[in-house]
Amino acid sequence: MRYLPGLPFLLLFLFPAFSIAQSPKQIIPGKLYDHIPVRKSSGASYLLDLAKDRAYEIDVFQQGVAVGFTLSDTNQTILAQSKRPEDITGHLKRDFTPSYTGSYYLKISYYVDPENTDSGEISIHVKPLTDQEMAKRSRIKKELAPENSKNVQTIDIDHFWEAFDRLKGSRTFADSVAVFQQYYLDRATDGLLDFIEVRDLTAEKYVAQVKLYPRYFASIRKRTYEVEKVKPVIEEVFERFKTIYSNFKPFKVCFAMGILNTGGTVSNSFILIGTEVMASSPEADLSEFVKYNNTNKVNQLSARKNFEEEIRKIVAHECGHTQQKPGMADTAIQCKLLYQSIREGACDFVGELLVHGHINTAGNNYGDKHELQLWTAFKNELCNENIGNWLYNSDRVKNQPGDLGYYIGYKIVQSYYENAIDKKKAIADILEMTDPVDFLMKSKYDRKPKK
């Protein structure tokens, strides 16, 4: 699970507001502006001429760096702003209808977060919306209102299978993309909208995955509908969490269909479940993954057994992420790999306390057999900015499980908890950790005997 936990939104902007006297660049609505560099030490301001009562979609596409934007009038009064970014790649979108015809200022700023990169690129597209597009959006919003009011959203699964079935009438790749866009992504619940942003989901990516693995998707279809039966499991996890952590605040949960790249993640409002991963089972047809030598994916998907237990474990893990404090303390050594590994391991550990199991059994089994070797290697990279050797790499590593940083983090957290006298305070310390080096030292894990 990789996402930007986010600092308080008022801290979004690293730099003071731009002065109008700085002669911002002109952006023409309807035109795409791409390959715009963004660095930690710079921002940008743009001039827009917009028409009164005409609806526009502001779309800023992040490519390797997280940003935020505001739209202001000539008095520099903020009229609209982007949501908090969920990751360093993905779209930030906001609809806006001007109250007057004239100039507006779009300001792009680097997003302050310890997980953000130092530089990257963005593209900007301010799209005028037609009356038909606005009417369609309004109709869909009204249709989805009952589902969006629920604490657990599942209707996106029905929409996915409707799009899947309609692919039979598609003759070209473009036809298939249009089907997925119209029948699935354009009808996204609030939860799926967050999922789209967190994982940069596009109709093109869905079509590519469905065409690669049609037998797999067909084989899990029946099980995806069983999410309705496991809704009580979510409330059960929430209630248990309250007993071990007094500051617990529940998030909404969305079951949607992704592109086989995550079983679960979180946004700033939702726990997001990749049902196409979690609904797998030993009976699922994995022949297509075998054909493409995707051994890690075969192992991951074939390990799913009891659906209710799998949902219980993934919700418990992701629930941990929703309670964690965002970012490292200013006074802490900025140790990115250690920090992120402890955060992931914390969610495995707390999840295990809640439901007596966790989502990384294969990694932990392997880790227990190679603990000393793994810890020695991990210490050599302890504060690396590049975390790819240890985290979010299950699609790249060979001859061992991926994401072994989860295991290292789990063992550090486990040691901290075992050494704590006040176990309830220890849970709060684990979830609210903002100084990874200090936490490691207090855990005494480095001094613990290892095999």
Q: Average per-residue pLDDT in the chain? A: 91
Q: How confident is the model at residue 381 (pLDDT cuts 50, 70, 90)?
A: very high
The token duo for 358 is: 């966790």
Name the residue with tokens 């929703």. 322
**What's the maximum distance between 2 C-alpha atoms anywhere in the chain?**
70
Q: Quick one: average pLDDT of 280-309?
A: 88
Q: What's the pLDDT at 140?
A: 95
More confident: 248 or 327: 248
Q: What's the pLDDT at 429?
A: 98
- What is the CB neighbour count within 10 angstroms for residue 383? 13
Span 210-265, pLDDT tens digits: 999 999 999 999 999 999 999 999 999 999 999 999 999 999 999 999 999 999 99
Q: How far apart are CA 125 and CA 105, in angstroms?
A: 14
Q: How confident is the model at residue 6 (pLDDT cuts 50, 70, 90)?
A: very low
The token duo for 165 is: 């079935």
Interior angle at CA 295, CA 1 and CA 299, nearest 5: 65
By mean pLDDT, which of 183-187, 197-201, 444-448 is the weakest?
Answer: 197-201
Span 23-32, pLDDT tens digits: 689 999 999 9
Q: How far apart are CA 357 and CA 350, in angstroms?
A: 10
CA dihedral of 236, 252, 138, 186, whole degrees rounded to 10:
-90
Q: How confident is the model at residue 4 (pLDDT cuts 50, 70, 90)?
A: low
Contacts of 401 (CB under 8 A, 6+ apart): 296, 299, 360, 362, 363, 366, 394
Give the percent of the chain with pLDDT over 70: 95
pLDDT for 14 beyond 50: no
Q: How far apart are CA 224 and CA 442, in angstroms?
A: 43
pLDDT for 301 beyond 50: yes
Give the percent of the chain with pLDDT over 90: 76
Closest C-alpha among 236, 179, 244, 243 to residue 210? 179
Q: How far apart are CA 404 and CA 390, in angstroms?
A: 5
Q: What's the pLDDT at 90?
A: 84
pLDDT for 1 beyond 80: no
Strands 25-27 and 44-50: parallel
Contact indicator for 51, 71 with CB cutoff of 8 Å: no
Q: What's the pLDDT at 105?
A: 96
Q: What's the pLDDT at 13?
A: 45
Note the Cα 197 to chain centre separation in Å: 8
Query: Where does residue 65 fall: left (phi above 0), alpha (psi -120 to 50 degrees), or beta otherwise?
Result: beta
pLDDT for 18 beyond 90: no
More confident: 1 or 344: 344
Interior angle at CA 84, CA 123 and CA 429, nearest 5: 135
Span 201-224, pLDDT tens digits: 999 999 999 999 999 999 999 999
Closest C-alpha among 120, 128, 122 to residue 33? 122
pLDDT for 3 beyond 60: no
Report the CATH fold assignment for 9-129: Jelly Rolls (2.60.120)
Alpha carbon distances (Å) from 282 to 130, 212, 219: 48, 20, 11
Contacts of 233 (CB under 8 A, 6+ apart): 308, 311, 312, 315
Strands 102-110 and 44-50: antiparallel
Domain range list for the chain = 9-129, 130-323, 324-451
Residue 265 CA neighbour count, 13 Å, CB half: 27
Q: What's the pLDDT at 23?
A: 65
Q: How confident is the model at residue 268 (pLDDT cuts 50, 70, 90)?
A: confident
Burial class (CB in 10 A: 0-12, 13-18, 19+), 92: buried
Q: How far apart are CA 317 and CA 234, in angstroms?
A: 12
Span 76-120, pLDDT tens digits: 999 999 988 878 888 898 889 999 999 999 999 999 877 788 899
